[in-house]
Amino acid sequence: MRTVRAAARDYPPSMPYISREGDVFVLNLDNDGQQDGENRFHPDWIDAVHNCLDKVEAAEGPAALVVACRGKFFSNGLDVEWVFGNLDKLPEYLDRVHSVFARLLTFPMPTVSAIGGHAFGAGAMLAISTDFQIMREDRGFYCLPEVDLNMPFTVGMSALLNSRLPKQTAIEAMTTGRRYGGPDAVAAGIAQATCSEAELVQEAIARVQPLTSKRGANLSGIKQSIHGELLAALATRTRDTEFSFGQQ
């Protein structure tokens, strides 16, 4: 059984930033000028995502949000280098990861993920935390590799996948580690559409542009009612569960 081990990283990850097209904000998951950043959930990266979302929420008027990437990875999930250098902080770290999912699930405006690169592990969960998903048609995979990495799912992560994916897709994705390309992801109910890389972000913007007037507390409340049980699971403190990272 393969087990992940790595040393702690002492340099900051690439950071997300916000751009805007009309009433649609785009949360760009990387900002280091490179096309191969993995957009992993480093604690600083998580804080930067929340700071970006704070700025979007502070803007007035109609609005919607696109979550996108520029390079090879939408997000490659947990920052395992940081995790294995900070195992004593793991429960709180995972709770912080959950906070990103929960915030997007209830974000007070329409949201869509433009999945232009690999979405693995927690990155795959991030992609389905928005209202809608559009995936690049020719490259990039949606994958939950935890079964091959000997890594369990937290209570919140399991609830997220079982709530946001069709049941048989959740079973297949979680127990086999299957990699879904764009067309397969649509067929499996993970995404609603595919398009070319060049058109992906614009297609995502076009998807939510007509919905910008729905932004507000009422929409957030509707989402909270839809995802009530899932949000409760995501709010479960990891330290209070039987979660064990790398258990046999």
Pairing relationship of beta strands 24-28 and 111-115 according to DSSP bridges: unpaired
Extract the residue ranges of the chain whose pLDDT is less than 70: 1-13, 31-36, 244-248
Distance CA 213, CA 64 (A): 9
Using CA atoms, how far apart are residues 88 and 234, in angstroms rounded to an integer? 20
With contact defined as beta carbons under 8 Å apart, do 159 and 229 qualify? yes
Q: Would strands 132-136 and 73-75 be described as parallel, antiparallel, or unpaired?
A: unpaired
The CATH number assigned to the domain holding 198 equals 3.90.226.10
Q: Which residue, chain included where needed, has tokens 């957030």?
A: 220
pTM of the model: 0.92
Establish if 89 belongs to a structural domain.
yes
Instruction: Give a yes or no: residue 134 inside a domain.
Output: yes
In a domain, 246, yes or no: no
Residue 80 counted as domain residue? yes
Contact 205, 195 (CB under 8 A): no
Using only C-alpha atoms, the chain has a radius of gyration, in whole angstroms, of 17
H or E stretch at 217 = helix 217-226
- Predicted local confidence at residue 71, as pLDDT: 83
What is the span of the domain harbouring residue 218? 17-240
Residue 169, pLDDT score? 98
Q: Does residue 179 belong to any structural domain of this protein? A: yes
At 30 the pLDDT is: 84
Distance separating alpha carbons of residues 27 and 52, to the nearest angstrom: 7
Q: Residue 148: inside a domain, yes or no?
A: yes
In this structure, is residue 248 part of a structural domain?
Answer: no
Residue with tokens 């949360």: 27
Residue 5 counted as domain residue: no
Number of domains in the chain: 1
